[in-house]
Amino acid sequence: MIPQRYANLLNIIYKNKSRRIMEIGTYNGAHATEMIEVSKIFYPAQTVEYFGFDMFESLTEEKLKQEFSKQPSTLIEVQELLNKTKINVHLYKGDTRNTLSQVKSSIGQVDFVLIDGGHSIETIRSDWNNVKDLMGQKTVVIFDDYYTNTEIEVEGVGCQTLIDSLNANDYEVQILEPMDSFAKEWGVLKINMVKVVKK
Ligand SMILES: C[S@@+](CC[C@H](N)C(=O)[O-])C[C@H]1O[C@@H](n2cnc3c(N)ncnc32)[C@H](O)[C@@H]1O
């Protein structure tokens, strides 16, 4: 079944006219292309910016399991795909526990962020700690992988612990519909995206 929740990304970028887009977990660049094309409805291509982070070909089998992840394309493959959009593409290869803190000050404030890289609680927390420094009053941050109502607890992965601990005085949090469900050998994995903005 095709996941339905990704439509949220395009709807939010359209509604907010987001121009500076960041994605933690670029993967194969397919959703990046779609997000960029929506931004291009409002802006000339050369003014749209995409900042993509992934381990790309450096992702090991061990890290893939640890991060509950998927095997990405190579950096060169993604770069070639995204070059077709004619926008400004910036790709950063490596573990975001290192790369994000190294480059965030050179990126500055962004309009839209998808946090969808490593799915371990530690990596999601580290990604959030860096991304929150890039938020302005209008920045929208979308977390993927909020696991709800799993018949069997998914331990050590997902953003639910972090999201549920955010300070309600500082952030407005919205669990987004629709939810996607996937049958696993241990039960049903149910996934929502979550929208976070500053109050
Ligand atoms: C679920 S996929 C991302 C899907 C993509 N955002 C999309 O919408 O199609 C997760 C990606 O995060 C990357 N990743 C996993 N752990 C990472 C880490 N610690 N640092 C950087 N990238 C990581 C993986 O290589 C993989 O491409």
Q: How many domains does the chain have?
A: 1
Is there a domain that residue 1 lies in?
A: no
Q: Which structural domain, as residue segments, surrounds residue 166?
A: 7-198
Ligand 1 centre and the CA of 173: distance in Å?
Answer: 23
Indicate which CATH number applies to the domain containing 56. Answer: 3.40.50.150
Which atom of ligand 1 lies nearest, measured to the CA of 123? 19
Is there a domain that residue 46 lies in?
A: yes
Ligand 1 centre and the CA of 150: distance in Å?
Answer: 22
Is there a domain that residue 67 lies in?
A: yes
Is there a domain that residue 174 lies in?
A: yes
pTM for the whole thing? 0.97
pLDDT at residue 148 tops 90: no
Ramachandran angles phi, psi of 118, nearest 5°: -65, 140
Ligand 1 centre and the CA of 67: distance in Å?
Answer: 8
Token couple for 6: 């990704």
Q: Out of 12, 58, 59, give the residue to mutate to test ligand 1, the one with the largest number of ligand atoms within 8 Å of its CB.
A: 59
69 lines ligand 1 (CB under 6 A): yes
Residue 156: its pLDDT value, please?
Answer: 83
Across all residues in the chain, what is the average pLDDT? 95
What percentage of the chain reaches a pLDDT higher than 70?
98
> How does residue 187 score in pLDDT terms, banded at 50, 70 and 90?
confident
Is there a domain that residue 20 lies in?
A: yes
Ligand 1 centre and the CA of 23: distance in Å?
Answer: 9
Does the N-terminal peptide bond of residue 178 adopt cis geometry, omega within 30 degrees of 0? yes
Is there a domain that residue 2 lies in?
A: no
- Condensed to tens digits (0 to 9), the pLDDT of residues 152-186 reads 777 788 999 999 999 999 999 999 999 999 988 88
Whole-angstrom CA distances from 21 to 42, 58, 106, 147, 199 are 13, 23, 14, 24, 20
- Condensed to tens digits (0 to 9), the pLDDT of residues 86-137 reads 999 999 999 999 999 999 999 999 999 999 999 999 999 999 999 999 999 9
Is there a domain that residue 169 lies in?
A: yes
Is there a domain that residue 65 lies in?
A: yes
